A and B are shown apart, each in its own frame.
Chain A
Amino acid sequence: MPVFFFQQSYHFLLFPGLRGITSLMILLYSNEWLVKGLAEGRESCVKFIYREYFPMVRSIVSSQNGNLEDAEDIFHDGLIIVFNRLKSEKFTLNSSLKTYLFSVCRNLWRRRLERKYRLLYATDSYVSDLEGCYTQEAEEEEYAEKFRLYKKHFVDLPEFCRMLLSCYIKKMSLEDIACIMNYKDTEYVKARKYYCKNLLRNKILNDPECKQFMNYE
């Protein structure tokens, strides 16, 4: 049976006999299964979530002056936020994943818009009491956005830097990294790592998009 039968369901109204197959697919992709798959980072789940829920995110973004790229970024950040929350032990999902993702993405886009307008119209000279509330959600959202932007620069790094830093992220030992990268000793591995991180820092520091996160002072 062609795959496209399962993607949209409205044309099944014409053929009630085939609706059973759709129900079966929905059963297969139950909420629990999706949540588990997302927590494990399963590709099939991400694909299903994208196909089913991305139109919803796109409609939120496009209804408020956003384009497709904005929608994709919001979708990415929203999923990362949900993933982070799912990994935390205190968190319990009380609604369906779709509803939850919808609310996360809507808040994310609203905050991003607010920030954009503040920057555009220079209204950040004063901070009202409401805007000044630094909630945990806002922190998480900023974290997700920061992660996306930094990762964008990480992907742009030279091949050897990406490999080296990936090995570090995987928490491999210096000896193993030296062996994989064909470096003479561990000291050289460290030197290359500092060089690559410096490269990444410079890229981030020179990116105007990342400037908003450099408000440490």
Chain B
Amino acid sequence: MNESLSHSHWIGKFTDKELTPGEETRLLSQASHNPLLRNELRLDMDINELFDDYDRIQLSETIRKTIRKERGRIIIPAYLKIAASVIILLALSTLTGLIFTFLEHNFQPPELSGNPFLNSQSRGLLCFLPGHSRPSLPSTPLKRRELAQITMSNNPYTPRPEYEFLVGTVTRDISLFVISPLPRVKCRSDSQLKFSWKWLRGPVPVSLEITDNHGRIVLNQVQMTDDSYVLNTRHWARGLYYYKISAGDELVTVGSISMY
């Protein structure tokens, strides 16, 4: 045991180059007579060389670990994979169909609401699918234009062109300065809207006229001497209205009220 222990120490020290020259010569002379010692010396050098690269050992460990792990992995048969694929595809297509159906019935973009050609009746690309017929549109452009005008006139939010371009304009007469409301104002249908102004050259009777988008007069207040007026919009229908404020005979400003 002692001999082998000392041998092992000598071999280790030899490969680690820790022997003195005298000890090294002694060991080599011993090895020249002892083939087993020679074998051990070479094996020790081999071990040192093989285990020199830590990365290689790590890689070897990784490979072994992967092999062990993967050996225990359950391999799913091909027919099960195909079946799973079919089920998942069916589920996905059903889900897509449900989403399309839901969107078709419950969703319409607000910007398309005034356009008769892009309402919920025309289902966009869906109309090309079997079972979806194209909406029956008027046959000639003239008829389609008429239909569009009717549809637009029925819409309470359709702007009125002859007023629309005047919205926000202010007269050159500087006898009255309108403080509120703004030229384009949004207002709830059951709230109050305050109109206020300031006389710049002494009091002048002020008149306020409100029309709907068809040009029908909804309210006409004349000869107001106060510097404000509160409009109660309770029971007013939703839609687009235009107001005109005049000082005496002079039109001061035009604005729009979007009642929602």
- Report the separation of the CA atoms of residues A204 and B70 in the bound assembly, to the nearest whole angstrom: 29
Segment among A44-52, A102-110, A122-130 that sits at the interface with chain B: A44-52
Residues of B with C-beta under 8 A to A121: none
A41 in contact with B55 given A46-B62, A200-B47, A217-B35 (CB within 8 Å):
yes
A76-B39 in contact (CB<8A):
no
Whether A195 sits at the interface, judged by CB under 8 Å, is yes
A165 at the interface (CB under 8 A from B): yes
Contact present for A11 and B56 (CB under 8 Å): no
Is A205 a contact of B43 with CB atoms below 8 Å? Answer: yes
Shortest CB distance B41–A (Å): 9
Q: Say yes or no: is B38 at the interface (Cβ < 8 Å to chain A).
A: yes
Q: How many residues of A contact B (CB 8 A)?
A: 52
Contact assessment for B46 and A146 in the assembled complex, using a CB-CB cutoff below 8 Å: yes
The range of chain B's interface size is 35 or more
Residues of A within 8 A of B (CB): 1-2, 4-5, 8, 10-11, 14-15, 18, 38, 41, 43, 46-47, 50-51, 54, 72, 75-76, 79-80, 83-84, 87, 143, 146-148, 150-151, 154, 165, 169-171, 190-191, 193-195, 197-198, 200-201, 204-205, 213-214, 216-217
A contact patch SS: helix
In the assembled complex, which residues on chain A have CB atoms less than 8 Å from the CB atom of B58?
Answer: 41
Q: Is B137 an interface residue (CB 8 A)?
A: no
Q: Which of B50-79 contact A (CB under 8 A)?
A: 50-52, 54-60, 62-67, 70, 76, 78
Contact between A80 and B51, CB atoms less than 8 A apart: no
For A10, A80, A171, A194, the residue with the greatest tally of chain B CB atoms inside 10 Å of its CB is A194
Which residue of A80, A147, A190, A191 has the most chain B CB atoms within 10 A of its CB atom?
A: A147
Q: Is the CB of B81 within 8 A of A201?
A: no
Among B39, B47, B52, B81, point to the contact of A4 (Cβ < 8 A). B81
B181 within 8 A of A: no
Question: In the assembled complex, which residues on chain B have CB atoms less than 8 Å from the CB atom of A84?
Answer: 56
B89 at the interface (CB under 8 A from A): yes
Give chain A nearest CB distance to B23 CB in angstroms: 14
**Docked complex Cα distance between A11 and B52 (Å):** 46
Tell me if A76 and B35 are in contact (CB < 8 A).
no
Known: A14-B82, A154-B51, A201-B47. A147 touches B66 (CB 8 A): no
Q: Is the CB–CB distance between A217 and B66 below 8 Å?
A: no
Known: A2-B84, A198-B8, A217-B35. A43 touches B43 (CB 8 A): no
Q: Are B60 and A148 neighbours in the complex by a CB distance under 8 Å? A: yes
Residue ID in chain A nearest B12 by CB atoms:
A194
A151 contacts B57, CB within 8 Å?
Answer: yes
**A150 with B50, Cβ < 8 A, contacts A191-B9, A195-B8 known:** yes
Contact partner of B12 (CB less than 8 A), chosen from A38, A171, A197, A204, is A197
Q: Nearest 6 CB-CB pairs, A to B?
A: A198-B8, A194-B12, A41-B59, A216-B42, A194-B9, A11-B82
Q: Is the CB of B51 within 8 A of A214?
A: no
Assess the B35–A75 pair: CB atoms within 8 A. Answer: no
Bound CA span A87–B52, Å? 14
Contact A11 B70 (CB under 8 A): no
Tell me the complex Cα distance, A83–B38, Å. 31
Partner of A169, one of B7, B13, B54, B62: B54
B171 at the interface (CB under 8 A from A): no
